[in-house]
Structure 1
Amino acid sequence: MQTCETEHHPYFGLWVTADGHVRHELLPNGRYDEARGTRESAYQGRYEVEGNYIRYWDDTGFTADGTFRDGVLYHGGMVLYRQ
């Protein structure tokens, strides 16, 4: 897998659950910052994208993955929409 390195990648930016509780920002430098409720930067780490598959490594050592389908991010049992 390769980390996205172009500022124009279609997956960069803010992804949000329908209720706005989880806000997941994919940064162009291969890092992510996730807020939950009123807790800003609740989770941070790095990510890599290959095709429509994304894999995460939280700074605490936790790993997760997800899939982009039809403009929606499915990650960790959550459904996030591009904002």
Structure 2
Amino acid sequence: MNNKPDASATRQQSHPYVGMWVTADGLVRHNLLPSGRYDEARGRRESAYQGRYEVRGNHIDYWDDTGFTADGDFIDGLLHHGGMILYRQR
């Protein structure tokens, strides 16, 4: 098994969208990890969804560990995903 980081993992670590993104009501929280993985919390359910993600330009694709896929776009400093708007938590 090759344990070397690949080029896409290195790119993920350096992109400006790594970090926590939350809806205005705080019910949905996406933690975009530098490793190219994400952890999504819903309400009181921590780690409701987990998987990998990839950012290309201002577009993000998600691949949940269960096989579900989704995507979104970063527009004017906001993450538009699945009919929701998520704000960068600082």
TM-score, length of structure 2 as denominator length: 0.85
In structure 1, runs of 5+ residues without a counterpart are none
In structure 1, the residue matched to 2:12 is 5
Unaligned runs of 5+ in 2: 1-7
Query: Which structure's residues are more often helix, by fraction?
Result: 2
Q: Does 1:71 align with 2:66?
A: no
Higher relative contact order (CA 8 A, sep 6+): 1
Separation in 2, partners of 1:79, 1:12: 16
Partner of residue 60, structure 1? 66
Q: Percent identity?
A: 75
The offset of 1:38, in angstroms, is 0.3
Counterpart in the other structure of 1:31? 37
TM-score using structure 1 length: 0.92
Q: CA RMSD in A?
A: 1.1
Q: Which one has the largest radius of gyration? A: 2
In 2, Cα distance between the equivalents of 1:76 and 1:63?
Answer: 11
More strand by share: 1
The yes-or-no answer on 1:22 pairing with 2:28 is yes
